[in-house]
Amino acid sequence: MFSLRVPIRPAAAFLWAAMAASTLVAAQYEISPEGSNVQFSVPVFGVSKVTGKFMRYDVKIDAGKKPDLSQAKVVAVIEMASVDTGSDAWDGKLRAAAWFDAQKYPEIKFESRRVRKSAGKWEAIGPLTIHGVTKEITLPFSFEGRFAGPRPDERIGIHATFSFDRREFGMAWTNNPEAKVAGNKVTVSIDLLATRVPTASRKP
């Protein structure tokens, strides 16, 4: 009994790898609302905080074709009018012009320009638009599950927390007496359950 081993030359190996890589299809994910949550909190009176969440949002994730996620892209759109604090009276106030002005600024949007791993932690960098003001932010995040490889997971979990100064996004509310008790720091907590889009349903 014998075996025959044929060495693969470097050029041939590179060509084979390139051909294999070109056949990879980027895994795409959409959010499953039943396992997702987008919350925010704002300090009040300097000793407590109020919390709320957004009930309607759309997040699309394209993992890209590289296992290091350097080609990954995230687009998130939140409907401002879907704010829910557990109080119908306050929800109505927040949608009004004196606060969020949801009619004039109906969406919060984030679109990543690049994704990287820095000091062992994942970051998505891109423009965030709130209340008609756009600024680039660095969004730290973690995930559970596997994006890359020939058999990516059907479901993944994504978790992110970040803070911003509301005044930097045009929400100083200087003419709103009720806003005087609210702090300037807004903290956003995001927990998403993402489900892989079937190949036949994917968009280019």
Question: Sign of the C-alpha dihedral, residues 119, 124, 126, 129?
Answer: negative
Residue 25 has a pLDDT of: 53
Give CA–CA dist 89/96, Å, rounded.
11
Q: In terms of Cα–Cα distance, which of 66, 59, 65 is closest to 111?
A: 59
26-198 homologous superfamily: Lipid/polyisoprenoid-binding, YceI-like (2.40.128.110)
Residue 126 has pLDDT above 90, yes or no: yes
Query: Residue 19 above 60 pLDDT?
Result: no
- 20/176: higher pLDDT: 176
Least reliable range by pLDDT among 23-37, 67-81, 98-112, 166-180? 23-37
Q: Who has greater pLDDT, 199 or 33?
A: 33
Q: Domain limits of the chain?
A: 26-198
- Name residue 202's amino acid: R
Provide the phi-psi class of 61: left if phi over 0, else alpha when psi is between -120 and 50, else beta: beta
Work out the mean pLDDT of the chain and round it to a whole number. 85
pTM of the model: 0.81
pLDDT tier, 200 (very low <50, low <70, confident <90, very high otherwise): low
